[in-house]
Structure 1
Amino acid sequence: MRPRKSKKMRIFLLLLVVIAAILGAGFGFYWAKFVPTNKHEEPTFAGLEKPIFYQGKMLEKPATGKAESLKLPFETVKELIDPSIHQEAASESVIITTQDKVIRMRTSQLTAMLNEKPFTLKFPLVKTDGTLYLPMEPIKSLYSIELRESPQTGAVILVKEGDVLQWSKAIAYPDKPSKTIAMRKAPAIKSPIYADLQQGEAVMVWPDDNPEWSLVQQTNGYMGYVRKEHLQADRQETLPKLGQQPGFVPAKPITGKINLSWEQVFNKNPDTTKFPPMPGLNVVSPTWFSLEDGKGNLKNIGDPVYVKWAQSQNIHVWGLFSNDFDPKKTTEALATYDTRMKMIKQLLSYAQLYSLQGINIDFENVNLSDKEELVQFVREMVPLMHEQGLIVSMDVTPKSTNENWSMFYDRKALIESLDYMMLMAYDEFWAASPNSGSVASLPWVEKSLTRMMSEDKIPASKLILGVPFYTRIWTEEQVNGKTKVSSKSVFMEAQERIIREKNLTPKFLPEAGQNYVEYTEAGKLNRIWMEDEVSMKARVELVNKYDLAGIASWRRGYELPPIWSLINNTLKD
Structure 2
Amino acid sequence: MKKKVLPVIVAILLILVIGGCALGKVLLDKYSYSKEEADWNEFYQVSENDRSAIILQNEMVEEQALIKDGVCYFDLATVHKYMNEVFYADMTENLLLYATPTEVIRTTFGETAYTTTEGTQEAGYVISFADGDNVYVAADYVKLFTNYSYECYDRHVQVNTEWGIRQVAQLKKDTAVRLRGGVKSPILTQAVKGDTLEILEQMETWSKVKTADAVIGYVENKRLGEITEETETPVTDYQAPEYTSLTADSKICLGWHSIGGVAGNDTLYSMVSGTKGMNVIAPTWFSMTDENGAFRSFATAGYVTTAHQMGLQVWGVLDNFNYANENGISISTLNMLSSTTARQNLVKNVTDTAMGLGLDGINVDFEQLSSDCGPHYVEFLRELSIECRNKGLVLSIDNYVPFNFNDYYRLDIQGEVADYVIIMGYDEHWHGSKDPGSVASISYVSDGLDRTLQEVPANKVVNALPFYTILWKTEGTDVTDEYITMRNEADFMSKAGVSAEWDEVTCQNYAEWTSGSVNYQIWLEDAESIAVKLNMMTTKNIGGVAVWRLGYGTQAAWELINAYLQ
Give the structure-2-normalised TM-score: 0.81
* Residue equivalent to 1:140: 143
Deviation of residue 287 (structure 1)?
Answer: 1.2
**Residue 134 of structure 1: how far off its partner (Å):** 0.9
Relative to 1, partners in 2 of residues 1:483 and 1:28: Cα closer, same or farther, differing over 3 Å?
A: closer
Which residue of the partner structure matches residue 290 of structure 2?
293
Q: 1:571–1:219: structure 2 CA closer, same or farther, 3 Å change rule?
A: same
1:383 Cα shift?
3.8
**Residues 221 and 490 (structure 1 numbering): CA distance in 2 closer, same or farther, change over 3 Å?**
closer
Q: Is the CA contact (8 Å cut-off) linking 2:428 and 2:444 kept in structure 1? A: no
Deviations 1:343-385 (A, max 9, x none): 2222221232233333211112334543443334324433443
Q: Match of 1:177?
A: none
Q: Rg larger in 1 or in 2?
A: 1
The alignment partner of 1:219 has SS state of: coil
| Contact in 2 for aligned 1:169/1:234 (Cα 8 Å) | no
SS at match of 1:64: strand
The DSSP-based 3-state class of the residue aligned with 2:93 is coil
* 1:175 aligned partner: none
Q: Over aligned residues, Cα RMSD in angstroms?
A: 4.0
Show the counterpart of 1:353.
356
Partner AA of 2:243 in structure 1: G
C-alpha contact (below 8 Å) 1:425/1:467 kept by paired residues: yes
State the distance in 2 between where 1:429 and 1:216 align. Answer: 56
1:469 to 2:467 alignment: yes
Q: Aligned in 2, Cα 1:454/1:12: closer, same or farther, shift over 3 Å? A: same
Residue equivalent to 2:240: 244
Shift of 1:432: 4.1
How far residue 145 of structure 1 moved from its aligned partner, in angstroms, is 0.5
Report the equivalent of 2:260: 266
Q: Are 2:77 and 1:75 aligned? A: yes
Superposed displacement of residue 340, structure 1: 1.8
Aligned-partner SS, 2:332: helix
Q: Cα offset for 1:50? A: 6.1
Question: For residues 140 and 400 of structure 1, what CA distance do their matches in structure 2 show?
Answer: 33
SS at match of 1:139: helix
Shift of 1:198: 2.2
Asked if 1:62 is matched to 2:65, the reply is yes
**1:44-71 CA-partner distances (Å, limit 9, x unpaired):** 664645623222427553332588x543
TM alignment of 1:315-354, pairs within 5 A: 315-324=312-321, 326=324, 328-354=331-357
**Are positions 1:539 and 2:541 aligned together?**
no
Q: Distance in 2 between matches of 1:345 and 1:319?
A: 15
Q: 1:433 Cα deviation (Å)?
A: 5.8
Equivalent-residue separation in structure 2 for 1:412 and 1:445 (angstroms):
23
Distance 1:116 1:301 in 2: 37
Secondary structure at 2:364's aligned position in 1? strand
Instruction: List per-residue Cα deviations over 1:200-221 (Å, max 9, x = no partner).
Output: 112334448x643333333334
Q: What is aligned with 1:457?
A: 454
Residues 371 and 133 of structure 1: CA distance in aligned 2, closer, same or farther (over 3 Å): closer
Are the structure 2 counterparts of residues 39 and 333 from structure 1 closer, same or farther at C-alpha, using a change threshold of 3 Å? closer
Q: How high is the sequence identity, in percent, across the aligned residues?
A: 23
Contact 1:452 / 1:458 at 8 angstroms: preserved in 2? no
Question: Contact 2:109–2:130 (CA<8 Å) still a contact in 1?
Answer: no
Helix, strand or coil: the match of 1:281? coil
Are the structure 2 counterparts of residues 83 and 207 from structure 1 closer, same or farther at C-alpha, using a change threshold of 3 Å? farther
Q: Which amino acid aligns with 2:112?
A: L
Q: Does 1:311 align with 2:305?
A: no
What amino acid is the match of 1:469? F
Change in Cα spacing, 1:248 to 1:193, as seen in structure 2 (3 Å) is same
Q: Which residue of 2 aligns with 1:112?
A: 114
- Where 1:63 maps in the other structure, the secondary structure is strand
CA drift at 1:450 = 0.9
Structure 1 unmatched runs, 5+: 173-179
Contact 1:385 1:392 in 2 (8 A): yes
Show the counterpart of 2:327. Answer: none
- Map 1:203-242 to 2 at 5 A: 203-207=197-201, 211-232=204-225, 233-238=227-232, 240=234
Cα distance in 2, alignment partners of residues 149 and 212 from structure 1: 31
- 1:89 is matched with 91
What displacement does 1:97 show?
Answer: 4.3
* Secondary structure at 1:382 match in 2: helix
How far off its partner does 1:324 sit?
2.0
Question: Which stretch has the larger CA shift, 185-194 or 13-22?
Answer: 185-194
Greater shift, 217-226 or 342-351, is seen at 217-226
8 Å contact kept, 1:507–1:516? yes
1:477-516 → structure 2 map (5 Å cutoff): 482=476, 488-495=482-489, 507-511=500-504, 513-514=507-508
Return the offset for 1:339.
1.9
Q: C-alpha deviations, 1:400-452, integer Å up to 9, x for none?
A: 89x8xx68745566545444332223345544465776544xxx143233145
1:267-306, Cα deviation, whole Å (9 max, x unpaired) = 2223545543644111221112111111221222222222
8 Å contact kept, 2:472–2:520: yes
Measured in 1, the distance between the counterparts of 2:418 and 2:244 equals: 10
Query: Which amino acid in structure 1 is aligned with residue 25 of structure 2?
Result: G
Question: Alignment partner for residue 551 of structure 1, among 545, 550, 561?
Answer: 545
Cα distance in 2 for partners of 1:384, 1:164 equals: 41
- Matched AA of 2:158: I
TM superposition shift of 1:190: 4.2
